Amino acid sequence: MTGSTPPRKGRSTAGAGGVDSEDAWQAEEAAKKSHARAVWGVSFSISLRGHFNSFVLLVLVLFVVLAVSVTTKNGNGAKPQAPTAVPPADDTGDGGQSDLSDCDMSSGRWVYDGTAYPLYKESACKFMSDQSSCEKFGRTDLKYQHWRWQPHGCDLPRFDAAKLLGKLRDKRLAFVGDSLNRNQWVSMVCLIDTATPTLHKSMGGNGSLVSFKINEYNASVDFYWSPLLVESNSDHPVHHRIADRIVSAGSIAKHARRWADADVLVFNSYLWWRRPSMKVLWGSFEAPAEGARRAVYEVTDSLRAFELATKTWSEWLELHVDRARTRLFFMSMSPTHLHSDEWEAGSGNHQCYNETEPIAGEGHRGRDTDPAFARAVEAQVARLGARGVAVRVLNVTQLSEHRKDAHPSVHRRQWDPHTEAHARARDPSSDADCIHWCLPGVPDVWNQILYAHIVSS
């Protein structure tokens, strides 16, 4: 993913009272000359007559020479130059880009910014999810909210809700995928909601589809639950925790009809494939008609099943997407921090519990991040590109790898009644959520990157 940044403005050379350095120098020189005349106590009259005229003219010339001499001595013999503008520090973070071709926004570092971040307050978002509201559920260390992502060589554009809504007027932006994509969708909703307090907004759901509407712009920002992209036995928006996971790798139309008309589509799929093997269904989940052939299951490794599913996804886009109207994005893998020995050797495994600082340095990669799945997506995106369908993969994996401090851990709503006792005891071994992200937090950066691409066109 690429981007660029405009030339940065130099720091102001203005001094106190708003007088710039050149005017200040001129005023100082005039004051010195006036002071020199006052010291000598000289006054002149142009009414002198007769033989005094020549004498007065001579005296006038002498005092002018003396005044210039004093001024030159005090000014070190040279007129000072206006100071050169000093460029601001690289870590301003609020630069904007109109051309994203010269910057890899996935490569950079986290910078603590206690002034400009977070971009909104958790309590200010009327549509915040209990799964992401860590402060509400008892987290008191809020440093995780103040880290800003600083790409190398450019700045990440600051999120501008009004500018985004201008692009989304009479349009639909839809996030399609699993709970990590829902995490990012809630972030986008909060970024818009908190920045536009006077607009009329509403939220409504219909099964797997939840829609956030901004009335004045006739725009919607939607989330559609489809954790494996294709049809599966985990498609119910609430009851989807099924140990024996089955995917119908060749079937996507049932889902696609719910998001096919979107103007901007943001897909993701990864964590639900993280198991040794999957059952792939060749046929329908519907009960077969009398006399019809029974569905056939194939047990295969998860990567192979993922490759089949993303191929079905890409073929659907190739045949049905409006290439002139629809913008397509695929979010890369969201990393987990389930193994604290990855950053703290010999500590046992407390997962991300009580972590308050990012992982230092650059290049960290956890064991749950499998690049083979990324390559499978990139292969299908390249195939689509060759056929005239543009899909941009937004690489958020590496920047998120370092944020072991930014997960809910035990600071979230406990959805299962039997975990309430553990939650009260703050048992990290059973209750720590080291997969999803607190808000405000890391998904806001994902949306800043997404925003940069949406508004750049």
pLDDT in tens, 363-394: 999 999 999 999 999 999 999 999 999 999 99
What is the pLDDT of the chain when averaged over all its residues? 82
pLDDT interval class at 52 (50, 70, 90)? very low
Half-sphere exposure of 270 (CA within 13 A, CB side): 23
**Measured between alpha carbons, how far is 58 from 66 in angstroms, rounded to an integer?**
13
pTM of the predicted protein model = 0.77
Residue type, 68: V
- Mean pLDDT value of segment 279-306: 82
- Whether 269 and 238 have beta carbons less than 8 Å apart is answered as no
Query: What confidence score (pLDDT) does residue 300 get?
Result: 96
Q: Helix (H) and strand (E) counts for the chain?
A: 11, 13
CA distances from 187 to 192, 195, 258, 324 (A): 9, 12, 22, 28
User: Quick check: 240 pLDDT over 70?
Assistant: yes
* pLDDT tens digits, one per residue of 313-356: 999 999 999 999 999 999 999 999 999 999 988 767 889 999 99
Locus of tokens 């002198």? 48
CA distances from 103 to 2, 109, 148, 266, 455 (A): 4, 14, 17, 21, 16
- Compute φ and ψ for 115, nearest 5 degrees: -105, -55
Query: N- to C-terminal Cα distance for the chain?
Result: 15
Nearest to 444, CA basis, from 264, 112, 185: 185
**CA-atom Rg of the chain in angstroms:** 32
Question: How many beta carbons lie within 10 A of that of residue 122, not counting itself?
Answer: 21
Out of 98-102, 122-126, 138-142, 365-369, pick the least confident: 98-102
- Whether 393 and 378 have beta carbons less than 8 Å apart is answered as yes
* pLDDT tens digits, one per residue of 84-102: 333 333 333 444 444 676 7
Give the pair of three-digit tokens for residue 344: 């703290």
Catalytic residues: 179, 433, 436
Residue type, 30: A
- Cα dihedral 237/241/246/247 (nearest 10): 30
- Mean pLDDT value of segment 172-176: 98
